[in-house]
Amino acid sequence: ACEVLADARTTVASCQARVAEQRATVAEAARSAGFPSVDAARAAAREPEWIARLDAEVTDAEVQERSARDILADPKLAGIEPDMQVDVAGAKAEAEQARKAADAALVTEQSAKDRVEQLEELGERLQERSARLAPLEAEFAELDALTDVLNGRGQNTKRMSLRSYVLAARLEEVAVAATARLRVMSQGRYAFVHSDAAGARGTRGGLGLDVLDDYSGTVRSTKTLSGGESFLASLALALGLADVVSAEAGGVQLDTLFIDEGFGTLDAETLDVVMDTLDGLRAGGRVVGLVSHVEEMRQRIPTKLFVRKGRTGSTLHMQV
């Protein structure tokens, strides 16, 4: 029994030593972990669920830290000190303005898209209408060009209207008839030549008359004729016109012809030629009335009507 008791005491002493050793180890571990005592370490112990939640929070914090460090590593933030004051309110205001501008831009973009669709639709309608209008425009262009030609414009190099062209054809007939008269009165020197040249400063032509001078063999403007020659040309044109009208009126004669002045510019020889021509008209049954102050003509005019002025008015006196 004594041996058993001795063994038990030995065992107890050994267990006590091991317990003291384990306590010392636990106390050293608690101190290494930053706890002042084993009781403080035991007080800090948490449930597994609590520890898992804390681990998740730590993980989130690490993620946020890495994100913050990446932002701080942006070259745009170089030179910014930790204690620098940032105008957050101003940045928010600018961000709000930018957001409003973006919203307005979106509205404008949508409006522009709507207008583009409308314009595309209108463009298609315009092309359709243009295609339908093209034949009409071509027809109008042809008629417009023809109208310009008829009015003396466009491709009409003569700048002669249709009316002028018709009158010019008639004028050529008158010029032929008048030339027969003018050659006799000018003793074969002058003949009328129709001119379709444009007028001065680009005005329309086609109704011009020049004279062919057989003495020089050149065509001259009627403006170069002397006073007496101009009178002969005018008289020849009047007689030629009367001849053409009579021929086209079925032989109806213009029985009466009045000539006012102009005889004073004629020399004696030319005056005789003119009077012979007028006598020939009178012998053909026409009545020729002459208004003149030339004294020499009294001997050639068989019937004279004198107009005399007086205080109470003018009087007429006929001499046969």
- Whichever domain contains 297, its CATH number is 3.40.50.300
In this prediction, residue 311 carries a pLDDT of 84
pLDDT value, residue 286: 76
- pLDDT-derived band at 201, boundaries 50, 70, 90: low
In a domain, 175, yes or no: yes
Residue 185 and residue 127 share a domain: no
Residue 261 above 70 pLDDT?
no
Residue 315: predicted pLDDT: 87
103 in a domain, yes or no?
no
In degrees rounded to 5, what are phi and psi of residue 232? -60, -40
Among 100, 120, 150, residue at a domain's last position: 150
Same domain? For 250 and 261 the reply is no
Domain boundary among 202, 229, 254: 254
**Domains identified in the chain, total number:** 3
Distance in angstroms (rounded) separating the CA atoms of residues 251 and 285: 13
> Residues 249, 263: one domain?
no
Say if 42 falls within a structural domain: no
Q: Considering the entire predicted model, what is its pTM?
A: 0.48
- Are residues 183 and 250 located together in one domain of the fold? yes
Same domain, 274 and 212: no
Residue range of the domain that includes 294: 257-320
Within this chain, do residues 143 and 183 fall inside the same structural domain, yes or no?
A: no
Per the domain annotation, does 124 fall within a domain?
yes
Same domain, residue pair 192 and 171: yes
Regarding whether 207 and 170 lie in a shared domain, the answer is: yes
Can you give the pLDDT at residue 98? 92
The mean pLDDT of the chain is: 81
Q: Give the model's confidence band at 297: pLDDT under 50 very low, under 70 low, under 90 confident, else very high.
A: confident
Looking at the structure, do residues 189 and 114 belong to the same domain, yes or no?
no
Q: What is the pLDDT of residue 198?
A: 63
User: Which of 150, 175, 198 marks a domain boundary?
Assistant: 150
What are the pLDDT digits (tens) for 212-258? 999 888 998 888 888 878 888 888 888 888 888 877 776 666 678 78
245 and 270: one domain? no
Q: What is the pLDDT of residue 199?
A: 59
Helix axes 162-185, 227-248, angle to 10 degrees: 120
Residues 189 and 243 in one domain: yes
Structural domain includes residue 99:
no
Q: Is the confidence at residue 263, as pLDDT, over 90?
A: no
Q: What is the pLDDT of residues 127-142, one digit of tens each?
A: 999 898 888 888 888 8
- The kind and range of the H/E element at 107 are helix 88-150
| 21 within domain boundaries | no
Residue 23 lies inside a defined structural domain of this protein: no
81-85, 95-99, 137-141: which has the minimum mean pLDDT? 81-85
3-state secondary structure string across 126-147: HHHHHHHHHHHHHHHHHHHHHH
Q: Are residues 274 and 320 in the same domain?
A: yes
235 located within any domain: yes
Question: Closest Cα to residue 196, out of 204, 188, 185?
Answer: 204
